[in-house]
Amino acid sequence: QVRLVESGGGSVQAGGSLNLSCEITGYIDNRYWRSYSMAWFRQAPEKEREGVAAIHSDGRTSYSDSVKGRFTLFKDNAKNTLLMQMISLKPDDSAMYYCAADPQTTDLLSLYEYNHWGQGTQVTVSS
């Protein structure tokens, strides 16, 4: 069973930085890990879950316009981990951040493309 475990959330002031980490655990062969596309989504209170950043198994990345230039993905294949560096954080970035993964994706930032989800990690940015 594939499990996604997020970490790294917290509270920062506007302009600050945070790094989120998502590790795939469970029964997954490293070869299959490499075939998974992974993404970060976020959901603020009373708002829909939105795609923030994603990386396809072939290495292509996609970022939402709201985070482009501020968030960067890194995939550590040796550790089965997806990292997201977030800089210049804004209060609008406050949300629960979820990691997602799936071996077959076309629209990287669509939540309907992903069958595996983590429990989420909270990010709070104060002004």
Tokens of 38: 């992974």
Would you say residue 37 has pLDDT above 70? yes
**What percent of the chain is modeled with pLDDT above 90?**
75
Whole-number pLDDT of residue 30: 60
Q: What's the confidence (pLDDT) of residue 31? A: 61
pLDDT of residue 106: 85
Average pLDDT, the chain: 92
Q: In angstroms, rounded to a whole number, what is the distance separating the alpha carbons of residues 97 and 88?
A: 17
CB 114 within 8 A of CB 15: no
Report, as an integer, the average pLDDT of 105-126. 94
Indicate whether 1 pLDDT > 80: no
Give the C-alpha separation, 74 to 126, whole Å.
26
pLDDT in tens, 50-99: 999 999 988 899 999 999 999 999 988 788 899 999 999 999 999 999 99
- Taking the C-alpha atoms of residue 75 and residue 82, their distance in angstroms, rounded to an integer, is 5
Residue 27 has pLDDT above 70, yes or no: no
pLDDT value at position 28? 62
